[in-house]
Homo-oligomer: A and B are copies of this chain.
Amino acid sequence: MARARLLVAYDGSAFHGFAPNEGVETVAGTLVAVIGRVVRRPVELTGAGRTDAGVHGWGQVVSLDLPEGTDLDDLARRVNKMAGPRVVIRRAEWTDEEFDARFSARWRHYRYHVLLTPQPDPFRAATTWHVGRPLDVSNMQLACDPLIGEHDFSSFCRRPKPGPGVTPPSMMRRVILARWSEPEPDLLRFEIRANAFCHQMVRSIVGLLVDVGLGRRRAGEVNGVLHAHDRQAAGQVAPPHGLVLWEVGYGDT
Protein backbone atom coordinates (compact mmCIF):
# COMPACT_ATOMS: atom_id res chain seq x y z
CA MET A 1 0.00 0.00 0.00
CA ALA A 2 1.13 3.58 -0.62
CA ARG A 3 -0.16 6.99 0.47
CA ALA A 4 -2.15 9.00 -2.05
CA ARG A 5 -3.29 12.61 -1.92
CA LEU A 6 -6.49 13.75 -3.62
CA LEU A 7 -7.74 17.25 -4.39
CA VAL A 8 -11.52 17.11 -4.14
CA ALA A 9 -14.39 19.45 -5.10
CA TYR A 10 -18.03 18.97 -4.13
CA ASP A 11 -21.39 20.67 -4.18
CA GLY A 12 -22.27 20.74 -0.50
CA SER A 13 -26.01 21.00 -1.17
CA ALA A 14 -25.92 17.41 -2.43
CA PHE A 15 -24.51 15.96 0.82
CA HIS A 16 -25.08 15.83 4.56
CA GLY A 17 -21.61 17.20 5.28
CA PHE A 18 -18.14 15.78 4.71
CA ALA A 19 -17.62 13.28 7.52
CA PRO A 20 -19.06 9.75 7.21
CA ASN A 21 -22.40 9.53 8.99
CA GLU A 22 -24.48 6.36 9.20
CA GLY A 23 -27.67 6.48 7.15
CA VAL A 24 -27.05 9.74 5.25
CA GLU A 25 -25.04 10.58 2.15
CA THR A 26 -21.80 12.38 2.95
CA VAL A 27 -18.81 13.36 0.82
CA ALA A 28 -16.35 11.04 2.58
CA GLY A 29 -18.92 8.24 2.67
CA THR A 30 -19.46 8.54 -1.07
CA LEU A 31 -15.73 8.66 -1.85
CA VAL A 32 -14.97 5.65 0.36
CA ALA A 33 -17.72 3.63 -1.31
CA VAL A 34 -16.78 4.54 -4.88
CA ILE A 35 -12.98 4.33 -4.49
CA GLY A 36 -13.45 1.00 -2.69
CA ARG A 37 -15.39 -0.31 -5.67
CA VAL A 38 -12.65 0.82 -8.09
CA VAL A 39 -9.71 -0.67 -6.14
CA ARG A 40 -11.78 -3.68 -4.99
CA ARG A 41 -10.92 -3.34 -1.31
CA PRO A 42 -12.14 -1.27 1.62
CA VAL A 43 -10.42 2.11 2.01
CA GLU A 44 -10.30 4.69 4.79
CA LEU A 45 -9.65 8.37 4.21
CA THR A 46 -8.78 11.53 6.09
CA GLY A 47 -9.95 14.99 5.01
CA ALA A 48 -8.27 18.33 5.73
CA GLY A 49 -11.53 19.93 6.89
CA ARG A 50 -14.78 18.44 8.14
CA THR A 51 -17.16 20.76 6.33
CA ASP A 52 -20.74 20.93 7.62
CA ALA A 53 -23.90 19.99 5.73
CA GLY A 54 -24.43 22.46 2.88
CA VAL A 55 -20.84 23.77 2.91
CA HIS A 56 -19.04 23.36 -0.42
CA GLY A 57 -15.56 22.11 -1.19
CA TRP A 58 -13.28 23.30 -3.96
CA GLY A 59 -9.81 22.57 -2.56
CA GLN A 60 -10.58 19.86 -0.01
CA VAL A 61 -7.58 17.55 0.43
CA VAL A 62 -7.90 13.87 1.24
CA SER A 63 -5.20 11.33 2.13
CA LEU A 64 -5.63 7.57 1.93
CA ASP A 65 -3.71 4.36 1.35
CA LEU A 66 -4.15 2.58 -1.97
CA PRO A 67 -2.59 -0.55 -3.47
CA GLU A 68 0.80 0.33 -4.94
CA GLY A 69 0.69 0.55 -8.71
CA THR A 70 -2.88 1.85 -8.81
CA ASP A 71 -3.26 4.09 -11.88
CA LEU A 72 -4.36 7.31 -10.16
CA ASP A 73 -5.47 9.11 -13.32
CA ASP A 74 -7.65 6.19 -14.20
CA LEU A 75 -8.96 6.06 -10.62
CA ALA A 76 -9.92 9.74 -10.76
CA ARG A 77 -11.66 9.30 -14.11
CA ARG A 78 -13.64 6.32 -12.90
CA VAL A 79 -14.60 7.92 -9.59
CA ASN A 80 -15.71 11.07 -11.40
CA LYS A 81 -17.79 9.02 -13.79
CA MET A 82 -19.51 7.24 -10.91
CA ALA A 83 -19.81 10.03 -8.31
CA GLY A 84 -19.49 13.22 -10.40
CA PRO A 85 -20.37 15.95 -10.95
CA ARG A 86 -21.60 16.31 -7.35
CA VAL A 87 -18.19 15.24 -6.05
CA VAL A 88 -15.11 15.25 -8.24
CA ILE A 89 -11.43 14.32 -7.81
CA ARG A 90 -9.63 17.30 -9.38
CA ARG A 91 -6.16 15.79 -8.96
CA ALA A 92 -4.73 12.53 -7.61
CA GLU A 93 -1.05 11.93 -6.84
CA TRP A 94 1.24 9.77 -4.76
CA THR A 95 2.78 11.32 -1.66
CA ASP A 96 5.10 10.24 1.13
CA GLU A 97 3.75 7.99 3.87
CA GLU A 98 4.09 10.75 6.48
CA PHE A 99 1.53 12.89 4.71
CA ASP A 100 -1.79 13.26 6.51
CA ALA A 101 -4.41 15.56 4.96
CA ARG A 102 -5.52 16.72 8.39
CA PHE A 103 -2.37 16.83 10.53
CA SER A 104 0.11 17.92 7.84
CA ALA A 105 -1.98 20.96 6.92
CA ARG A 106 -0.45 24.34 7.82
CA TRP A 107 -3.50 26.40 6.97
CA ARG A 108 -7.05 26.23 5.66
CA HIS A 109 -8.47 28.95 3.44
CA TYR A 110 -12.23 29.49 3.20
CA ARG A 111 -14.26 31.80 1.01
CA TYR A 112 -17.74 33.08 1.76
CA HIS A 113 -19.91 34.85 -0.85
CA VAL A 114 -22.66 37.36 -0.13
CA LEU A 115 -25.09 38.54 -2.83
CA LEU A 116 -26.34 42.12 -2.54
CA THR A 117 -28.78 42.35 -5.49
CA PRO A 118 -32.30 43.25 -4.32
CA GLN A 119 -33.72 40.20 -6.12
CA PRO A 120 -32.43 36.63 -5.66
CA ASP A 121 -30.40 35.01 -8.46
CA PRO A 122 -31.30 31.47 -9.60
CA PHE A 123 -27.71 30.80 -10.68
CA ARG A 124 -26.02 31.95 -7.49
CA ALA A 125 -28.64 30.79 -5.00
CA ALA A 126 -26.73 27.59 -4.18
CA THR A 127 -23.36 29.28 -3.54
CA THR A 128 -24.15 32.70 -2.03
CA TRP A 129 -25.99 34.13 0.93
CA HIS A 130 -28.59 36.45 -0.54
CA VAL A 131 -28.55 39.40 1.88
CA GLY A 132 -30.16 41.57 -0.80
CA ARG A 133 -29.17 44.94 0.66
CA PRO A 134 -26.09 47.18 0.34
CA LEU A 135 -23.41 46.56 2.96
CA ASP A 136 -20.76 48.93 4.27
CA VAL A 137 -17.71 47.01 3.09
CA SER A 138 -15.11 49.35 4.56
CA ASN A 139 -16.66 48.93 8.01
CA MET A 140 -16.72 45.17 7.51
CA GLN A 141 -13.04 45.25 6.58
CA LEU A 142 -12.24 47.38 9.62
CA ALA A 143 -14.09 44.85 11.77
CA CYS A 144 -11.70 42.10 10.60
CA ASP A 145 -8.65 43.68 12.24
CA PRO A 146 -9.18 42.31 15.78
CA LEU A 147 -9.52 38.76 14.38
CA ILE A 148 -6.00 38.61 12.94
CA GLY A 149 -3.49 36.71 15.11
CA GLU A 150 -3.79 34.00 17.73
CA HIS A 151 -6.92 34.14 19.89
CA ASP A 152 -9.38 32.03 21.79
CA PHE A 153 -12.31 31.96 19.32
CA SER A 154 -14.87 30.52 21.79
CA SER A 155 -17.30 33.33 20.92
CA PHE A 156 -17.42 32.08 17.34
CA CYS A 157 -17.38 28.33 17.85
CA ARG A 158 -19.95 25.70 18.57
CA ARG A 159 -18.71 23.56 21.42
CA PRO A 160 -18.98 19.79 21.34
CA LYS A 161 -21.60 18.49 23.80
CA PRO A 162 -20.07 18.26 27.28
CA GLY A 163 -20.16 14.87 28.99
CA PRO A 164 -18.19 12.57 31.26
CA GLY A 165 -14.75 12.00 29.83
CA VAL A 166 -15.08 14.84 27.30
CA THR A 167 -12.21 17.34 27.69
CA PRO A 168 -13.31 20.75 26.43
CA PRO A 169 -11.16 21.27 23.36
CA SER A 170 -8.99 24.33 22.89
CA MET A 171 -10.52 27.11 20.79
CA MET A 172 -7.15 28.79 20.22
CA ARG A 173 -6.70 29.45 16.52
CA ARG A 174 -4.30 31.64 14.52
CA VAL A 175 -5.98 33.74 11.81
CA ILE A 176 -3.50 34.70 9.07
CA LEU A 177 -5.74 36.81 6.85
CA ALA A 178 -9.33 38.04 6.77
CA ARG A 179 -10.44 40.33 3.97
CA TRP A 180 -13.43 41.43 1.95
CA SER A 181 -13.44 42.09 -1.78
CA GLU A 182 -16.06 42.70 -4.50
CA PRO A 183 -15.01 40.46 -7.42
CA GLU A 184 -18.21 41.31 -9.32
CA PRO A 185 -20.71 44.12 -8.84
CA ASP A 186 -23.10 43.26 -5.97
CA LEU A 187 -21.11 40.14 -5.03
CA LEU A 188 -18.98 40.31 -1.89
CA ARG A 189 -16.29 37.76 -1.13
CA PHE A 190 -14.89 37.13 2.34
CA GLU A 191 -11.59 35.27 2.50
CA ILE A 192 -10.21 33.90 5.74
CA ARG A 193 -7.11 31.81 6.32
CA ALA A 194 -6.13 30.25 9.64
CA ASN A 195 -3.97 27.39 10.88
CA ALA A 196 -7.28 25.65 11.65
CA PHE A 197 -10.92 26.49 12.36
CA CYS A 198 -13.27 25.30 15.06
CA HIS A 199 -16.86 24.32 14.39
CA GLN A 200 -18.98 27.03 12.67
CA MET A 201 -16.19 29.59 13.17
CA VAL A 202 -16.25 31.09 9.64
CA ARG A 203 -20.04 31.24 9.50
CA SER A 204 -20.22 32.91 12.93
CA ILE A 205 -17.60 35.48 11.92
CA VAL A 206 -19.43 36.20 8.64
CA GLY A 207 -22.73 36.53 10.53
CA LEU A 208 -21.22 39.18 12.80
CA LEU A 209 -19.44 41.02 9.98
CA VAL A 210 -22.63 41.20 7.91
CA ASP A 211 -24.40 42.66 10.96
CA VAL A 212 -21.64 45.30 10.98
CA GLY A 213 -22.15 45.88 7.23
CA LEU A 214 -25.88 46.36 7.80
CA GLY A 215 -25.22 48.89 10.58
CA ARG A 216 -26.82 46.64 13.22
CA ARG A 217 -23.51 46.46 15.09
CA ARG A 218 -20.41 48.65 15.11
CA ALA A 219 -16.98 47.55 13.85
CA GLY A 220 -15.62 48.52 17.26
CA GLU A 221 -17.74 45.80 18.94
CA VAL A 222 -15.82 42.91 17.35
CA ASN A 223 -12.93 43.11 19.79
CA GLY A 224 -15.35 42.88 22.70
CA VAL A 225 -17.17 39.92 21.13
CA LEU A 226 -13.84 38.11 20.63
CA HIS A 227 -12.79 38.61 24.24
CA ALA A 228 -16.19 37.74 25.70
CA HIS A 229 -15.45 34.03 25.03
CA ASP A 230 -19.21 33.63 24.88
CA ARG A 231 -21.03 32.21 21.90
CA GLN A 232 -24.09 34.38 22.55
CA ALA A 233 -21.98 37.50 21.94
CA ALA A 234 -21.44 36.85 18.22
CA GLY A 235 -25.09 36.81 17.13
CA GLN A 236 -26.33 35.29 13.87
CA VAL A 237 -24.59 32.40 12.09
CA ALA A 238 -24.39 32.84 8.30
CA PRO A 239 -26.06 30.04 6.26
CA PRO A 240 -23.80 27.18 5.12
CA HIS A 241 -24.32 27.42 1.35
CA GLY A 242 -22.30 30.66 1.00
CA LEU A 243 -19.19 28.90 2.34
CA VAL A 244 -16.55 26.97 0.43
CA LEU A 245 -13.32 25.31 1.60
CA TRP A 246 -11.13 26.95 -1.00
CA GLU A 247 -7.57 25.77 -0.41
CA VAL A 248 -5.44 23.91 2.10
CA GLY A 249 -1.72 24.71 2.50
CA TYR A 250 0.97 22.17 3.32
CA GLY A 251 4.12 24.21 2.91
CA ASP A 252 4.65 22.69 -0.54
CA THR A 253 2.12 24.92 -2.31
Contacts and interface: CB of A to CB of B under 8 A. Distances in A.
A52 to B, nearest CB: 17
Contacts of A76: 119
A224 interface: no
Contacts of A85: 120-122, 125, 130
A86 interface: yes
A127 B119 contact: no
Count chain B CB atoms within 10 A of each CB in A14, A84, A86 and give the residue with the most.
A84
A88 B121 contact: yes
Contacts of A245: none
Contacts of A247: none
A9 B84 contact: no
- Tallying the copies of this chain within the complex gives 2
Interface in A1-39: 9-11, 14
A75 to B, nearest CB: 12
Contact of A88 (B87, B122, B127): B122
A121 B130 CA distance: 23
A109 interface: no
A9 B88 contact: no
A247 to B, nearest CB: 15
B122 A11 contact: yes
Count chain B CB atoms within 10 A of each CB in A90, A127, A130 and give the residue with the most.
A90
B122 A84 contact: yes
Contacts of A125: 11, 84-86
Given A11-B122, A85-B120, 14 more contacts: A9-B121, A11-B123, A11-B125, A84-B119, A84-B120, A84-B122, A84-B125, A85-B121, A85-B130, A88-B119, A88-B120, A88-B121, A88-B122, A89-B119
Interface of A: 9-11, 14, 56, 58, 76, 80, 84-90, 119-123, 125, 127, 130
26 contacts: A9-B121, A9-B122, A9-B123, A10-B122, A11-B125, A56-B122, A76-B119, A80-B119, A80-B120, A84-B119, A84-B120, A84-B122, A84-B125, A85-B121, A85-B122, A85-B125, A85-B130, A86-B122, A87-B122, A88-B119, A88-B120, A88-B121, A88-B122, A89-B119, A90-B119, A123-B127
